[in-house]
Structure 1
Amino acid sequence: MSSVTDFLLNRASEPRLEAPAPDAPTLERAFACAARAPDHALLRPWRYLVIEGEGLEALGDLFADACRDTSDKKKLDKIRNKSLRAPMIIVGIASPKKHPKVPEVEQLLSAGAGMSFLGLALQDAGYGVMWRTGDMAYNQQVREGLGLEDRESVIGFLYTGTVSSSKPPVPRPEPADFVARWPL
Structure 2
Amino acid sequence: MLGFFAAGITVDLLDLLNARRSTPSRLLGEPGPAPAELQRLLQSAVRVPDHGRLDPFRLIALEGAARVRFGETLARIHARMDPATPDAALDKDRKRYLDAPLILVVVARIDEHHAKVPAQEQLLSAGCVGYNLLLGAQALGYGAQMLTGWAAYDREVADLLGLTENERVLAFVHIGTARERAPERNRPAVANLLSHWS
How many angstroms does 1:21 deviate by?
0.6
1:159 corresponds to which residue? 174
Aligned length: 183
Pairwise CA RMSD = 1.2
Mapping for residues 1-184 of structure 1, pairs under 5 Å: 1-2=1-2, 3-15=12-24, 16-68=27-79, 69-71=82-84, 72-97=86-111, 98-183=113-198
Structure 2: 5+ residue stretches without partners: 3-11
Please list the CA deviations of residues 18-54 of structure 1 after superposition, one character each: whole Å capped at 9, or x if unmatched: 0001111111111111221000010000000011100
C-alpha separation in 2, matches of 1:128 and 1:42: 30
1:131·1:157 contact (CA, 8 Å) conserved in 2? yes
**Contact 1:64–1:79 at 8 Å: present in 2 too?**
yes
The aligned amino acid for 2:50 is: D
After superposition, give the CA deviation of every residue in 1:77-100 in whole Å (9 maximum; x if it has no partner).
122111113111100000123521
| CA displacement at 1:60 relative to structure 2 | 0.3
TM-score by length of 1: 0.95
User: What TM-score does the superposition give when structure 2 sets the normalisation length?
Assistant: 0.88
Counterpart of 2:5 in structure 1 is: none
Q: Identity across aligned pairs (percent)? A: 38
The one-letter amino acid of 1:89's match is I
Distance between the aligned counterparts of 1:62 and 1:40, measured in 2? 36
